Amino acid sequence: MTNQISKEDFFQRVYKIVSQIPYGKVTTYGAIANALGIKSSAIMVGWALNAAKNRSDLPCHRVVNRNGLLTGKKHFPTPTIMRELLEQEGINFIDEMVDLKRHFWKPEIR
């Protein structure tokens, strides 16, 4: 991994950012990777979130792909729960995509 960061350290750094995503907002895998200073590691962010799927303390449903698609929905108990959770938070969709102009949250660069 870039900069000799262990997988565990990287995953913990991802979880720290995900835990800070505000209610009613979403961010992207790439925005998290960029905030960690490893812009090309968006796929690794996805792996970290998949490894955390049993952690109810993390709002993993608030992480979407760069277009606002719910590409992580297959890792939830049902294919519709991710969208349902986002809609409960007041997040709007345009067809199958989150309205990123209204709901995007940019994590701080670390």
Closest CA to 73 of 95, 91, 49: 49
Which of 60, 63, 86, 98 is the catalytic position? 60
Our answer to whether residue 101 is catalytic in this structure is no
Measured distance CA(58)–CA(14) in Å, rounded = 10
Q: Which of the residues are catalytic?
A: 60
